Amino acid sequence: MKADSNNLELGRINRRALLKLAVASAAYGLNTRELSAQGLRVVVAGAGIIGASIAYHLARAGATVTVVDQEGPAIHASRGTFAWINATWAKQPQHYHTLNQDGLLGWKDLQQTLKIPIRWRGSLEWFEQTQRQEKLKQQIHEQVAWGEKARFVSPAELATLEPGVNFKGASNVAYSENDGALDPVLATNALLNAAAGYGATIKYPCVLNDVLQRSGRVTGVATTRGDNAWRD
């Protein structure tokens, strides 16, 4: 999924430590029960899908989290995203594909935990150009070798999967049955509401004006509300 580009995390922790926490969350299927962020204070700038996810997972892990956004949740890129959750042939190389497979597992965990409705009905892909279709065959075989549920479907099955689409005699249509889709605005708000349930503060409309530093260390942030999201 595409995410709002202005997401920023600031806290009483160096960047490397915060990155390790984020990577560890992904490695454990976003299961922050394995982690602790007690004592960490974080400001997330941007209430899009990424900012909302960061806020939720860090708040759940025990961090004190404040989210600021100049307009509101999922207003720009997150609202316009195709919201396709996938680990298809385009996810190259293999380690990136594996990361996306873990991401699907993370979404299934969120679906159960936060009751986010996700349609796990798969996706269909094909190309009109013969050369590109041949490459798609190779890529689907690779997908299968990487543990993905991908295969080619017959015209009869196509009509069942997507009865409203005229495939114009297309052959070798690839079906990735693990793929899903969701409402990105609903998902963003579900994550923010859950973050608030763990004590996070959500502020909008609120613009992050400045990052306050002392001796090279972040000590707070200034916002258009005339207050500080946090300050030492």
Q: Which CATH number characterizes residue 196's domain?
A: 3.50.50.60
> Do 74 and 89 belong together in one domain?
no
Q: Are residues 92 and 161 in the same domain?
A: yes
Q: How far is CA 27 from each of CA 24, 62, 92, 206, 225, rounded to the nearest angstrom?
A: 5, 19, 18, 33, 37
pLDDT at 214 over 80: yes
Helical segments of the chain, H only: 15-27, 49-60, 77-80, 94-114, 130-145, 155-161, 184-197
**What is the value of pTM for the model shown?**
0.80
**Domain coverage including residue 203:** 8-79+183-231
pLDDT at 14: 47
Minimum mean pLDDT range among 14-18, 143-147, 157-161, 165-169: 14-18
Tokens of 93: 């190389």
Count how many domains the chain has.
2
Q: 202 lies in a domain?
A: yes
Q: Does residue 199 share a domain with residue 175?
A: no
